[in-house]
Amino acid sequence: MPVTAIQLENIFNSVMDYRINDGKKPWAQSLQERPLTTALLKAKKTFPGGKESITGNVKGAYVSEFKGYSDDDTVGYKNPSEIKQFSYQYKELHAGVEFTMTELKKSGISVVNSTTGEKTNNVSEQEKILISNLLEDKMDDLEEGSARSFDLMMHRDGTQDSKEFAGLSSIVSQTPNVGITGGLDRATHSWWRNRALCGANAIVASDTSSTAIKTLKSEIRQLRRFGGKPNLICCGSEALRLLESEYVAKGQTTVTGFSNGADIGIDDLQIKGIGKIMYDPTMDDEGMEHFLYMLDTNFIKPYVMEGEDNKMHYPARPAEKYVLFRAITWTGGLVCNKLNAHGVYEIK
Protein backbone atom coordinates (compact mmCIF):
# COMPACT_ATOMS: atom_id res chain seq x y z
CA MET A 1 0.00 0.00 0.00
CA PRO A 2 2.39 2.74 -1.16
CA VAL A 3 1.57 6.44 -0.81
CA THR A 4 3.67 9.47 -1.64
CA ALA A 5 4.83 12.04 0.88
CA ILE A 6 2.66 14.63 -0.87
CA GLN A 7 -0.43 12.43 -0.57
CA LEU A 8 0.32 11.83 3.10
CA GLU A 9 0.71 15.57 3.72
CA ASN A 10 -2.64 16.25 2.05
CA ILE A 11 -4.39 13.68 4.22
CA PHE A 12 -2.69 15.06 7.36
CA ASN A 13 -3.83 18.58 6.45
CA SER A 14 -7.36 17.38 5.73
CA VAL A 15 -7.66 15.73 9.12
CA MET A 16 -6.28 18.81 10.84
CA ASP A 17 -8.54 21.20 8.95
CA TYR A 18 -11.80 19.28 9.13
CA ARG A 19 -11.35 16.97 12.12
CA ILE A 20 -12.70 13.89 10.35
CA ASN A 21 -14.65 11.77 12.83
CA ASP A 22 -15.30 8.19 11.75
CA GLY A 23 -16.63 7.03 15.12
CA LYS A 24 -13.43 5.18 16.09
CA LYS A 25 -11.98 7.72 18.51
CA PRO A 26 -11.08 6.35 21.95
CA TRP A 27 -13.61 7.06 24.68
CA ALA A 28 -12.35 10.16 26.48
CA GLN A 29 -12.12 9.66 30.24
CA SER A 30 -11.16 13.07 31.58
CA LEU A 31 -12.99 15.78 29.62
CA GLN A 32 -14.33 18.68 31.69
CA GLU A 33 -16.45 21.70 30.96
CA ARG A 34 -14.65 25.02 30.88
CA PRO A 35 -17.34 27.64 31.60
CA LEU A 36 -14.97 30.50 32.44
CA THR A 37 -12.84 30.18 29.31
CA THR A 38 -15.89 29.51 27.12
CA ALA A 39 -17.64 32.66 28.31
CA LEU A 40 -14.57 34.88 28.06
CA LEU A 41 -13.69 33.65 24.56
CA LYS A 42 -17.19 34.60 23.39
CA ALA A 43 -16.34 38.19 24.35
CA LYS A 44 -12.82 38.28 22.86
CA LYS A 45 -11.52 41.19 20.82
CA THR A 46 -8.59 41.69 18.48
CA PHE A 47 -5.73 44.15 18.49
CA PRO A 48 -3.39 45.06 15.62
CA GLY A 49 0.05 43.55 15.22
CA GLY A 50 3.14 45.70 15.62
CA LYS A 51 2.38 46.67 19.21
CA GLU A 52 4.60 45.60 22.08
CA SER A 53 1.69 45.24 24.51
CA ILE A 54 -2.08 45.69 24.82
CA THR A 55 -2.79 49.19 26.16
CA GLY A 56 -5.71 51.49 26.91
CA ASN A 57 -6.65 54.60 28.87
CA VAL A 58 -8.63 54.68 32.12
CA LYS A 59 -9.65 57.44 34.52
CA GLY A 60 -10.92 57.16 38.07
CA ALA A 61 -10.04 60.47 39.74
CA TYR A 62 -11.74 63.82 38.99
CA VAL A 63 -10.40 67.12 40.35
CA SER A 64 -12.87 69.71 39.02
CA GLU A 65 -15.48 70.80 41.56
CA PHE A 66 -18.02 73.47 42.43
CA LYS A 67 -17.00 76.02 45.07
CA GLY A 68 -19.18 78.74 46.48
CA TYR A 69 -18.35 82.41 45.84
CA SER A 70 -19.88 85.85 46.14
CA ASP A 71 -19.09 89.37 45.01
CA ASP A 72 -15.40 89.72 44.17
CA ASP A 73 -14.13 86.50 45.79
CA THR A 74 -11.10 84.96 44.15
CA VAL A 75 -11.99 81.71 42.38
CA GLY A 76 -9.67 78.85 41.44
CA TYR A 77 -9.11 76.72 38.37
CA LYS A 78 -8.06 73.10 37.93
CA ASN A 79 -5.91 71.54 35.22
CA PRO A 80 -7.14 67.92 35.06
CA SER A 81 -4.46 65.37 34.15
CA GLU A 82 -5.80 62.16 35.66
CA ILE A 83 -5.80 59.83 32.64
CA LYS A 84 -3.82 56.65 33.30
CA GLN A 85 -2.76 53.96 30.85
CA PHE A 86 -2.97 50.24 31.55
CA SER A 87 -0.66 47.84 29.75
CA TYR A 88 -0.82 44.05 29.47
CA GLN A 89 1.91 42.05 27.79
CA TYR A 90 0.70 39.68 25.12
CA LYS A 91 2.21 36.23 24.91
CA GLU A 92 2.85 33.77 22.08
CA LEU A 93 1.56 30.22 22.61
CA HIS A 94 2.39 27.07 20.64
CA ALA A 95 1.01 23.53 20.62
CA GLY A 96 2.23 20.92 18.13
CA VAL A 97 2.11 17.24 17.25
CA GLU A 98 4.32 15.02 15.15
CA PHE A 99 3.69 11.91 13.05
CA THR A 100 6.41 9.52 11.99
CA MET A 101 6.43 7.47 8.83
CA THR A 102 7.42 4.48 10.97
CA GLU A 103 3.93 4.60 12.47
CA LEU A 104 2.50 4.12 8.99
CA LYS A 105 4.79 1.21 8.26
CA LYS A 106 3.49 -0.57 11.34
CA SER A 107 0.03 -0.30 9.82
CA GLY A 108 1.17 -1.74 6.49
CA ILE A 109 1.50 1.54 4.62
CA SER A 110 4.73 2.42 2.87
CA VAL A 111 5.51 6.04 2.08
CA VAL A 112 7.27 6.78 -1.20
CA ASN A 113 9.34 9.79 -0.24
CA SER A 114 9.03 11.50 -3.60
CA THR A 115 8.35 15.14 -4.26
CA THR A 116 6.80 14.41 -7.64
CA GLY A 117 4.63 11.40 -6.79
CA GLU A 118 5.80 9.45 -9.83
CA LYS A 119 5.10 5.73 -10.26
CA THR A 120 2.43 5.54 -7.58
CA ASN A 121 -1.32 5.19 -7.79
CA ASN A 122 -3.85 7.47 -6.16
CA VAL A 123 -4.51 6.74 -2.52
CA SER A 124 -7.42 4.31 -2.12
CA GLU A 125 -10.35 5.01 0.16
CA GLN A 126 -9.18 2.18 2.40
CA GLU A 127 -5.77 3.82 2.76
CA LYS A 128 -7.33 7.22 3.42
CA ILE A 129 -9.51 5.77 6.17
CA LEU A 130 -6.59 3.96 7.79
CA ILE A 131 -4.33 7.01 7.71
CA SER A 132 -7.15 9.26 8.91
CA ASN A 133 -7.79 6.92 11.83
CA LEU A 134 -4.12 7.07 12.81
CA LEU A 135 -4.07 10.86 12.61
CA GLU A 136 -7.42 11.47 14.27
CA ASP A 137 -6.16 10.72 17.76
CA LYS A 138 -3.22 13.08 17.27
CA MET A 139 -5.54 15.88 16.19
CA ASP A 140 -7.90 15.09 19.05
CA ASP A 141 -4.97 15.32 21.46
CA LEU A 142 -3.80 18.60 19.91
CA GLU A 143 -7.27 20.09 20.17
CA GLU A 144 -8.06 18.96 23.73
CA GLY A 145 -4.53 19.37 25.08
CA SER A 146 -4.21 22.94 23.84
CA ALA A 147 -7.70 23.78 25.17
CA ARG A 148 -6.87 22.38 28.62
CA SER A 149 -3.60 24.25 28.93
CA PHE A 150 -5.25 27.46 27.69
CA ASP A 151 -8.00 27.07 30.30
CA LEU A 152 -5.38 26.67 33.03
CA MET A 153 -3.69 29.89 31.89
CA MET A 154 -7.05 31.66 32.04
CA HIS A 155 -7.33 30.75 35.73
CA ARG A 156 -3.70 31.20 36.84
CA ASP A 157 -1.74 34.35 37.65
CA GLY A 158 1.10 33.92 35.13
CA THR A 159 3.81 33.19 37.70
CA GLN A 160 3.93 29.54 36.60
CA ASP A 161 5.74 30.59 33.39
CA SER A 162 6.94 34.04 32.33
CA LYS A 163 6.13 33.18 28.70
CA GLU A 164 2.45 32.52 29.48
CA PHE A 165 -0.12 35.30 29.88
CA ALA A 166 -1.43 36.23 33.33
CA GLY A 167 -4.96 34.96 33.90
CA LEU A 168 -7.95 35.73 36.07
CA SER A 169 -6.33 35.31 39.50
CA SER A 170 -3.77 38.00 38.63
CA ILE A 171 -6.51 40.47 37.70
CA VAL A 172 -9.38 39.74 40.11
CA SER A 173 -7.21 39.58 43.21
CA GLN A 174 -8.01 38.17 46.64
CA THR A 175 -6.05 41.14 48.04
CA PRO A 176 -7.16 44.04 45.83
CA ASN A 177 -5.71 46.79 48.05
CA VAL A 178 -2.14 45.88 47.11
CA GLY A 179 -0.31 44.84 43.98
CA ILE A 180 -0.13 45.80 40.31
CA THR A 181 -2.71 45.12 37.61
CA GLY A 182 -2.07 46.19 34.04
CA GLY A 183 0.87 48.28 35.20
CA LEU A 184 -1.26 50.36 37.60
CA ASP A 185 -0.80 50.25 41.38
CA ARG A 186 -4.00 49.18 43.14
CA ALA A 187 -2.75 50.60 46.46
CA THR A 188 -2.40 54.08 44.91
CA HIS A 189 -5.62 54.09 42.89
CA SER A 190 -8.62 53.07 44.99
CA TRP A 191 -10.85 53.01 41.91
CA TRP A 192 -8.56 50.38 40.32
CA ARG A 193 -9.62 47.54 42.62
CA ASN A 194 -11.94 44.57 42.32
CA ARG A 195 -14.27 43.49 45.13
CA ALA A 196 -13.07 40.65 47.38
CA LEU A 197 -14.21 38.84 50.52
CA CYS A 198 -11.53 36.24 51.18
CA GLY A 199 -9.32 34.92 53.96
CA ALA A 200 -10.20 36.60 57.26
CA ASN A 201 -13.13 38.33 55.48
CA ALA A 202 -14.46 35.15 53.86
CA ILE A 203 -18.23 34.55 53.77
CA VAL A 204 -19.31 32.00 56.37
CA ALA A 205 -22.34 30.10 55.08
CA SER A 206 -25.23 29.39 57.45
CA ASP A 207 -28.30 27.18 57.05
CA THR A 208 -30.23 29.32 59.52
CA SER A 209 -29.60 32.86 58.32
CA SER A 210 -28.71 32.51 54.61
CA THR A 211 -25.55 34.55 55.20
CA ALA A 212 -23.81 33.67 51.94
CA ILE A 213 -26.82 34.32 49.72
CA LYS A 214 -27.57 37.65 51.39
CA THR A 215 -23.92 38.73 51.17
CA LEU A 216 -23.69 37.91 47.46
CA LYS A 217 -26.86 39.90 46.79
CA SER A 218 -25.34 42.83 48.64
CA GLU A 219 -22.12 42.50 46.65
CA ILE A 220 -24.03 42.67 43.36
CA ARG A 221 -25.12 46.19 44.29
CA GLN A 222 -21.48 47.16 44.82
CA LEU A 223 -20.42 45.63 41.51
CA ARG A 224 -23.13 47.66 39.77
CA ARG A 225 -22.30 50.83 41.67
CA PHE A 226 -19.83 52.21 39.13
CA GLY A 227 -21.46 50.87 35.99
CA GLY A 228 -20.62 47.17 36.16
CA LYS A 229 -23.19 44.64 35.00
CA PRO A 230 -22.01 41.20 36.20
CA ASN A 231 -23.11 38.50 33.77
CA LEU A 232 -20.91 35.52 34.65
CA ILE A 233 -20.67 33.52 37.88
CA CYS A 234 -18.21 30.63 38.19
CA CYS A 235 -17.41 28.74 41.35
CA GLY A 236 -15.78 25.66 42.83
CA SER A 237 -17.68 22.63 44.07
CA GLU A 238 -17.59 23.50 47.79
CA ALA A 239 -18.81 27.05 47.24
CA LEU A 240 -21.71 25.70 45.20
CA ARG A 241 -22.49 23.00 47.79
CA LEU A 242 -22.66 25.56 50.60
CA LEU A 243 -24.92 27.85 48.57
CA GLU A 244 -27.21 24.93 47.75
CA SER A 245 -27.33 23.98 51.43
CA GLU A 246 -28.43 27.50 52.37
CA TYR A 247 -30.99 27.52 49.59
CA VAL A 248 -32.52 24.18 50.58
CA ALA A 249 -32.61 25.16 54.27
CA LYS A 250 -34.75 28.18 53.40
CA GLY A 251 -37.56 26.14 51.91
CA GLN A 252 -39.23 22.75 51.81
CA THR A 253 -37.95 20.19 49.32
CA THR A 254 -41.24 18.21 49.18
CA VAL A 255 -44.89 18.75 50.08
CA THR A 256 -45.72 15.04 50.12
CA GLY A 257 -43.64 13.96 53.13
CA PHE A 258 -41.53 10.81 52.84
CA SER A 259 -43.63 9.30 50.07
CA ASN A 260 -42.31 6.97 47.39
CA GLY A 261 -40.76 8.67 44.41
CA ALA A 262 -40.12 12.03 46.08
CA ASP A 263 -37.69 14.16 44.07
CA ILE A 264 -34.77 15.24 46.27
CA GLY A 265 -33.11 17.29 43.52
CA ILE A 266 -33.11 21.06 43.17
CA ASP A 267 -32.85 23.26 40.11
CA ASP A 268 -29.58 24.96 39.19
CA LEU A 269 -28.98 28.01 41.35
CA GLN A 270 -29.39 31.35 39.60
CA ILE A 271 -29.14 35.00 40.50
CA LYS A 272 -31.75 37.20 38.92
CA GLY A 273 -30.29 39.56 36.34
CA ILE A 274 -27.02 37.60 36.10
CA GLY A 275 -27.85 33.98 35.36
CA LYS A 276 -26.83 30.50 36.42
CA ILE A 277 -24.14 29.91 39.03
CA MET A 278 -21.85 27.62 37.05
CA TYR A 279 -19.60 24.98 38.51
CA ASP A 280 -16.08 25.30 37.11
CA PRO A 281 -14.12 22.02 37.54
CA THR A 282 -10.81 23.76 36.87
CA MET A 283 -11.28 25.80 40.04
CA ASP A 284 -11.28 22.52 41.99
CA ASP A 285 -8.15 21.41 40.15
CA GLU A 286 -6.46 24.67 41.18
CA GLY A 287 -7.45 24.40 44.86
CA MET A 288 -10.20 27.02 44.48
CA GLU A 289 -13.16 24.81 45.42
CA HIS A 290 -14.37 27.30 48.07
CA PHE A 291 -14.21 30.34 45.77
CA LEU A 292 -16.73 32.12 43.55
CA TYR A 293 -16.14 34.76 40.87
CA MET A 294 -18.70 37.32 39.67
CA LEU A 295 -17.52 38.95 36.46
CA ASP A 296 -18.67 41.42 33.84
CA THR A 297 -17.35 40.18 30.49
CA ASN A 298 -17.83 43.66 29.01
CA PHE A 299 -14.72 44.68 30.95
CA ILE A 300 -12.61 41.52 31.10
CA LYS A 301 -11.86 39.39 28.04
CA PRO A 302 -9.06 37.92 25.92
CA TYR A 303 -7.46 40.15 23.32
CA VAL A 304 -5.92 38.24 20.41
CA MET A 305 -3.62 39.69 17.76
CA GLU A 306 -5.26 40.02 14.35
CA GLY A 307 -4.57 36.92 12.27
CA GLU A 308 -3.04 35.04 15.22
CA ASP A 309 -6.11 33.35 16.72
CA ASN A 310 -5.47 29.57 16.66
CA LYS A 311 -3.31 29.94 13.59
CA MET A 312 -2.47 26.64 11.89
CA HIS A 313 1.07 25.83 10.78
CA TYR A 314 2.19 23.16 8.31
CA PRO A 315 6.00 22.95 8.59
CA ALA A 316 7.84 21.20 5.75
CA ARG A 317 9.38 17.85 6.66
CA PRO A 318 12.99 18.41 7.71
CA ALA A 319 15.48 16.62 5.46
CA GLU A 320 17.13 14.82 8.37
CA LYS A 321 13.90 13.33 9.83
CA TYR A 322 11.08 11.18 8.44
CA VAL A 323 8.55 13.03 10.56
CA LEU A 324 5.63 15.33 9.79
CA PHE A 325 4.82 18.26 12.10
CA ARG A 326 1.64 20.30 12.59
CA ALA A 327 1.07 23.13 15.05
CA ILE A 328 -1.33 25.76 16.35
CA THR A 329 -0.24 29.15 17.69
CA TRP A 330 -2.13 31.87 19.56
CA THR A 331 -0.94 35.37 20.40
CA GLY A 332 -2.70 37.54 22.95
CA GLY A 333 -3.56 37.97 26.60
CA LEU A 334 -6.32 38.52 29.14
CA VAL A 335 -7.22 42.19 29.55
CA CYS A 336 -9.34 44.06 32.10
CA ASN A 337 -10.15 47.76 31.72
CA LYS A 338 -12.46 48.13 34.73
CA LEU A 339 -11.61 46.28 37.93
CA ASN A 340 -14.47 47.40 40.19
CA ALA A 341 -17.00 45.50 38.06
CA HIS A 342 -15.66 42.11 39.27
CA GLY A 343 -15.47 40.26 42.55
CA VAL A 344 -13.95 37.14 44.11
CA TYR A 345 -15.49 35.52 47.18
CA GLU A 346 -14.42 32.71 49.47
CA ILE A 347 -17.33 30.76 50.99
CA LYS A 348 -16.74 28.57 54.04
d(CA 20, CA 27): 16
Domain ranges of the chain: 2-23+32-58+84-254+266-346
Residues in CB range of 279: below 8 A, 6 or more apart: 33, 35, 234, 235, 236, 237, 240
d(CA 15, CA 129): 11
d(CA 297, CA 216): 18
Q: What local confidence, expressed as pLDDT, does residue 112 receive?
A: 67
Torsion of CA 46, 48, 49, 52, to 10 degrees: -90
CATH code reported for the domain at 2-23+32-58+84-254+266-346: 3.90.1690
d(CA 305, CA 144): 22
pLDDT of the chain, 348 residues: tens digit per residue: 556 666 667 666 766 665 433 444 444 455 788 999 999 999 999 999 888 899 999 999 988 999 999 999 999 999 888 899 999 999 999 999 888 888 877 777 777 665 544 444 455 666 666 676 777 778 888 888 999 999 999 999 999 999 999 999 999 999 999 999 999 999 999 999 999 999 999 999 998 888 999 999 999 999 999 999 999 999 999 999 999 999 887 764 445 444 555 555 677 899 988 999 999 999 999 999 999 999 999 999 999 999 999 998 888 888 888 888 889 999 999 999 999 999 999 999
d(CA 175, CA 292): 15
Instruction: Say if residues 155 and 286 touch (Cβ distance below 8 Å).
Output: yes
Task: Show the 3-state SS of the chain.
Answer: CEEEHHHHHHHHHHHHHHCCCCCCCCCCCCCCCCHHHHHHHHCCEEECCCCCCEEEEECCCCCCCCCCCCCCCCCCCCCCCCCEEEEECCEEEEEEEEEEHHHHHCCCCEEECCCCCCCCCCCCHHHHHHHHHHHHHHHHHHHHHHHHHHHHHHHCCCCCCCCCCCCHHHHCCCCCCCCEECCEECCCCCCCCCEEECHHHCECCCCCCCHHHHHHHHHHHHHHCCCCCCCEEEECHHHHHHHHHHHHHHCCCCCCCCCCCCCCCCCCCEECCCEEEEECHHHHHCCCCCEEEEECCCCEEEEEECCCCCEEECCCCCCCCCEEEEEEEEEEEEEECCHHHCEEEEEC
